[in-house]
Structure 1
Amino acid sequence: MFDSGVVSTNLEARLVDIQASNPEDLEKNVAWNKLNEVEKCTECVHHLVERHCRERPFAPAICAWDGELSYGELDKQASYIAEQLSRVDVGPDKLVFIMSEKSKWTPVAILASLKAGGGFSLLDPSQPAHRLATLCDLATPQLILASRRHSVKASLLGPPVMIIQDMGLGALDETSENPNSPILSTVESHHHTLHVGFTSGSTGTPKGVLTDHAAFTSGHDVSGLSRESRVLQSTSYNFSACMWEHLVTLTRGACLCIPSEDQLENDVERAICELGVTWAMITPSVARVIEPQNAPSIETLFLVGEAIGRLEISKWAEKVALYSMYAQSECGSPIMTKRIFGPEDLSTLGHPGSAVGWIVDSMDHNRLMPLGAEGELVLQGPCLARSYVNNAEQTTTTFIADPAWARQVGMDTPNRFLKTGDVFSRSPIDGSFQFRGRKGGKVKIRGQRIELAEVEYHLRSQFPQVPHVVAEIVRPSDSDSQYGMLVAVIPSRASPSDGTPNICRLLPPDKKFLHHAQRALDQLSKGLPTYMIPNSFISVESLPRTASGKLHRRLLAETLSQLSRKEILAYMTLPKVYRAPSTITEATLQSVCARVLSIEPEEIGMDDNFLGLGGDSLSARQMVTFARAEGLSITVADCLQQANLTSLANCAQDSRSLHVKPVPIRKDPDPFNSLREDFLHDLPQTLTTDM
């Protein structure tokens, strides 16, 4: 990748071209990146899994709420389904959508799609049908593999539907030969499609990120997994990390542990214990809900998707091997991981393990920035995704070829680079990377990356009378959380030029605005995932403008951040007469709700509802956990669906005996049985017939 002779020869002459601050900076950049070079791997993902199936057929591969599979059983099921997929023309660079609840059948469907030579994409059944249909139109899958539970909804999306459970083998005899593993005629290559994941797009349509096998298999192993690891499958199917969570587990020969959605929402600690989870990858928001003493089996914990706070470190760093993880949807494997021992380790994200990183001018990727200076992180290496699906313009903009400085630092050409959209700096001392923020309108909500422009696109359809609406992340003035609220800002003036420079006037909500905002909220809920729906709609006289007439986004955010959570949410509801708790259960829920949402108990009346107070699915998990500690049993669905806290209290009273269905785990009284079976499996059959 690098030629040090070219660097040393041309360093002085080309310094102006690449805009580095001095020759020493450039030499350090090149030296550090040479240490992080990654060779392309030419193996396919399913071949790595099949190796474990052959070598350790009796080892546990899947332990789920709905059943278990050994590696031998996984291979039989996936091969049998793959043969059927190949008959309907699934093959190289053909895509299979998988639409299922959390289940043992999801990894079976994934492996089957790969064995047939195709790629896969996971659909979250909880998303609106219109949104799912948009993804189908964008990526044109060959078919949808759906679970029975979601087959009707899948049939509304357009592509042909096959039901996973109906395609699988019946009860399998572990000790039998493997006559049902067909030899498929597909010819796979590491450059064929592995996966398509979807991320928010600024034009109002999601972007499909197409990743090949080499992008996943190339790079250093940052997981720390072994064959004895038991990995929690908890990330949403909306999250690109879910693909990595499934595949890294099976390619390392570990066991994938899959609780049900109900268990993940309402009692994840119990599921972790019953499954014997030793390795987990979760967001910091979820890490705050789980108490280490209630999940003692966890040995390794990766935090991903959000900024890590001191609370998570103080809670977990001394109990487990705690790591931060930086990843991009446009990369097949995580970019940077770092062991976290204390708050001081949050200063950097470490060094890349599957790519080479460079810092360029945020406005001009042809200008390389000096060490210590802020700029956009660009990545180079075989882990990069191939393209955006059916979007050549966005692909060319994001995946750039040979910026002006590439050859000057001694790179072989041609080279591809990914513009991450994230602002970093690089330490001149040790070459580690520090995250500084996100470029433009890219933000993260509850671990999900979204483009504010996509939210604004859909908002405009609900407020056609104004030419410009704004989506913004707002951190309320009275919030002690590092996470903000997604707010829609609606101006009353129709002209985009009416804004006064350096002035942002908020308007009080009236009945007409509240009615329009509620109607818009209802419509958005039909077409967008929940994390893209605003928490509140705020009316302003006009949008603030800079002296040059551009939207003054910083002033708008600063003005809105002066509002309390209660003031922000007041734009969504008419004032109510405060009604105090009348029972012990209501008083307990009032106290728990105040703790979860960081507001005073006296501000919470019994006619308020959890969502109206600023709650969401993540804070509902906290609500369930803290209520359980007070002796009350409620569910996440209760918190999100009940009309007010009195109704929620009635649910709690009626559900004191609620228990999450235990996860079935195969109990083997002989701890050496699996080792003995593996040993016997490898012996010639003539030697084992008499044993």
Structure 2
Amino acid sequence: HGKAFGLTAQARFLQFAAFTFDICITEIITTLLYGGCVCIPSESSRRSNLAKAVDDMRVNWAYLTPTVARLLDPDSVPSLKTLILGGEEVSSADCKRWSDKVNIINAYGPAECTVLCTAYFGIQGFKSGLIGKSIASVCWVVDPENHDRLAPLGSIGELLIEGPILARGYLNDPQKTKAAFIDDPTWLLQGGGGHPGRRGRMYKSGDLAYYAPDGNLMYAARKDGQVKLRGLRVELGEVEHHLRECIPEAQQSAVEVIMPAGEKENATLAAFLQLDDGGRPHQSGRQDGRLST
């Protein structure tokens, strides 16, 4: 991805991501491989004065989630030349806000496919959901209910990712690994369209996507109850499970990401509960304590 991005020895890359987030590999390892400089802000600057840190260190490359990028005024970081947005959905408004100041790259890639597998460069023709074309990988769209069947071109299906960027699996979880990483789907073994059959290992992303007429991939939705909120994966089903554990008197519960006033920038996780006695909570003090943990 360094070659695709155009990284050079002149790169001064902001090291913002936590070490538990695979984006830090781009910020640190890729930058060093190309002879660039890794710019590491202090923890206090990272939390409360990121713009000044970027300006003081003359950072010209940064990889941020849209949520973090919205906290920066483009005019306050004049040294920044390339901004990679990823980790959560990128809106047209996010791109337009920065387009006069920097080169915009919209990057997509699950943590299981380090660091990323597709990208879209610039804002011309950009719209929400556009994740671009493959980088260091091959992306396939298959029937969401049967990965042994390719989805017709242009139709929505589950996105499968193939290539050297795939993880070996989930640590100490062979069952989850077997479900998410598959070998040799039928259509790959058979070949077609002038291409001979071959073997291959792929990651089932759980993301629903489709190929647009221009060859770019469009993200449509999740196949399951997973959502992205401020760059973090959230399993809605797991949140609902813990709510039921904490509040057993709730007859029904539902968790959703809501957008007050329709603004994606203010997306919030909300829980809706139906209590068993017409809406009066029991032992609110105990519930407050359990929910806080």
Q: TM-score, normalised by structure 2?
A: 0.90
Residue 314 (structure 1) shift: 2.3
- 1:481 and 1:248, CA in 2 relative to 1: closer, same or farther beyond 3 A? same
Partner of 2:126: 345
Q: Match for 1:487: what amino acid?
A: A
Q: Match for 1:286: what amino acid?
A: V
Partner of 1:520: 290
Distance 2:172 2:120 in 1: 35
Structure with greater helix share of residues: 1
1:220 and 1:354 in contact (8 A); partners too: no
Q: Match for 1:417: what amino acid?
A: M
Distance 1:272 1:446 in 2: 21
Distance 2:37 2:273 in 1: 49
Which digits, 9 at most, give the CA deviation of each residue in 1:423-445, with x for residues without a partner? 10112x33211111111111101
- 1:467 and 1:512, CA in 2 relative to 1: closer, same or farther beyond 3 A? closer
Residue 269 (structure 1) shift: 0.9
Distance 2:112 2:201 in 1: 12
Spell out the pairing of 1:586-601 with structure 2 (5 A cutoff).
Answer: none
How many equivalent pairs are there?
Answer: 289
- Do structure 1's residue 258 and structure 2's residue 40 form an aligned pair? yes
Distance 2:250 2:74 in 1: 50
Q: Match for 2:204: what amino acid?
A: K
- Do structure 1's residue 439 and structure 2's residue 193 form an aligned pair? no
Distance 1:266 1:373 in 2: 44
Which digits, 9 at most, give the CA deviation of each residue in 1:643-671, with x for residues without a partner? xxxxxxxxxxxxxxxxxxxxxxxxxxxxx
Spell out the pairing of 1:199-598 with structure 2 (5 A cutoff).
Answer: 221-342=3-124, 344-346=125-127, 348-409=130-191, 410=195, 412-427=197-212, 429-465=213-249, 469-476=253-260, 478-493=261-276, 510=280, 512=282, 514-523=284-293
Residue 252 (structure 1) shift: 1.7
Residue 251 (structure 1) shift: 1.8
Partner of 1:143: none
Residue 371 (structure 1) shift: 1.0
Q: Relative contact order (C-alpha < 8 Å, sep 6+): which is higher?
A: 1
**2:160 alignment partner, SS class:** strand
Structure number with larger C-alpha Rg: 1
2:190 and 2:198 in contact (8 A); partners too: no
**2:133 alignment partner, SS class:** coil
- 1:285 and 1:445, CA in 2 relative to 1: closer, same or farther beyond 3 A? same
Distance 2:252 2:180 in 1: 26
Residue 517 (structure 1) shift: 4.4
Distance 2:180 2:81 in 1: 37
Distance 2:196 2:253 in 1: 45
**2:206 alignment partner, SS class:** strand
Partner of 1:209: none
1:340 and 1:346 in contact (8 A); partners too: no
Distance 2:110 2:31 in 1: 19
Distance 2:23 2:251 in 1: 37
Q: Match for 2:175: what amino acid?
A: E
**1:245 alignment partner, SS class:** helix
1:333 and 1:354 in contact (8 A); partners too: no
Distance 1:431 1:310 in 2: 20
Residue 513 (structure 1) shift: 6.7
- 1:444 and 1:263, CA in 2 relative to 1: closer, same or farther beyond 3 A? same
Residue 492 (structure 1) shift: 2.3
Moved more, 282-291 or 268-277: 282-291
1:239 and 1:448 in contact (8 A); partners too: no
- 1:475 and 1:511, CA in 2 relative to 1: closer, same or farther beyond 3 A? same
Distance 1:346 1:426 in 2: 14
Residue 313 (structure 1) shift: 2.0
Distance 2:281 2:239 in 1: 24
Spell out the pairing of 1:156-167 with structure 2 (5 A cutoff).
Answer: none
Distance 2:112 2:120 in 1: 20
Which digits, 9 at most, give the CA deviation of each residue in 1:196-227, with x for residues without a partner? xxxxxxxxxxxxxxxxxxxxxxx673332111
1:356 and 1:379 in contact (8 A); partners too: yes
Pairwise CA RMSD = 2.3
User: Tell me, which stretches of 5 or more residues in structure 2 are unaligned?
Assistant: none
User: Tell me, which stretches of 5 or more residues in structure 1 are unaligned?
Assistant: 1-218, 495-506, 524-691
Which digits, 9 at most, give the CA deviation of each residue in 1:82-115, with x for residues without a partner? xxxxxxxxxxxxxxxxxxxxxxxxxxxxxxxxxx
Q: Match for 1:472: what amino acid?
A: E
2:251 and 2:275 in contact (8 A); partners too: no
**1:350 alignment partner, SS class:** strand
Which digits, 9 at most, give the CA deviation of each residue in 1:464-507, with x for residues without a partner? 4557643322223x34335521123333249xxxxxxxxxxxx6
Residue 460 (structure 1) shift: 3.4
- 1:459 and 1:273, CA in 2 relative to 1: closer, same or farther beyond 3 A? same
**2:84 alignment partner, SS class:** strand
**2:155 alignment partner, SS class:** coil
